[in-house]
Structure 1
């Protein structure tokens, strides 16, 4: 992930081992990370059970908000791939109980189809 993508607010892919090490204290027993993305300090993580949105706050990043979205709570989602002039990909997730979708942007190097395939398997069944 380049500095330009970080400035634009686009998440890039992250190594599973790095994400697992960083989130070891909040993962459930035997919970496995399947995909992880990083945006400067924030993270988007898909495990075998849920989506975790990590928001590191403040100057030091010591205050952290962990937002969990169980796959069973997702009612629908859209994936928009990158184009010639629009270099980022976008994911919108509608969660039951929320009126507006959660919107996430990814840089053009992100394999948005891997993300879409994992969501389809988790939400629509295997």
Structure 2
């Protein structure tokens, strides 16, 4: 159901070991991927040292922007769940030195809860 979940705006968990191999060029020598989630083409990756968001761009998704956020730089985060008329949930992450939060939108409360819990474990 991973592809269908992604198309619907639901995050699905990705194999951390597979992603570890894909990211060897950008990970520190002692860094390891612990959890990863895919949202359509974008990714939210939790390592033992930082949060990495991957924003795939273009038609093919070959071009990607990686944003690296050390956990100590996360000042606050919030979650807004779906309602009766509002079918989207949002995760907001505020980073020290940036006025506006990073916003990720989901259509599934289960996946946003999983990511929020992981963020709580790593950032607190």
Instruction: Give the Cα–Cα distance (whole angstroms) in 2 for the partners of residues 62 and 55 of structure 1.
Output: 10
TM-score, normalised on structure 1? 0.76
Secondary structure of 2:26's partner? Answer: coil
Give 1:74-113 correspondences, 5 Å limit. 74-82=74-82, 86=86, 88-108=88-108, 110-113=110-113
* Distance in structure 2 (CA, Å) of the matches to 1:14 and 1:91: 19
**Which segments of 5 or more consecutive residues in structure 1 lack a partner in the other structure?**
none
RMSD value, Cα: 2.6
- The total of aligned residue pairs comes to 123
CA 1:120/1:50 → structure 2, altered by over 3 Å: closer, same or farther? same
Which segments of 5 or more consecutive residues in structure 2 lack a partner in the other structure?
Answer: none
* CA displacement, residues 18-46 of structure 1 (integer Å, 9 cap, x when unaligned): 32232222111121212211133321111
2:31 matched to which residue of 1?
31
**Quick one: distance in 2 between partners of 1:4 and 1:15?**
16
User: CA 1:105–1:112 in 2, change beyond 3 Å: closer, same or farther?
Assistant: same
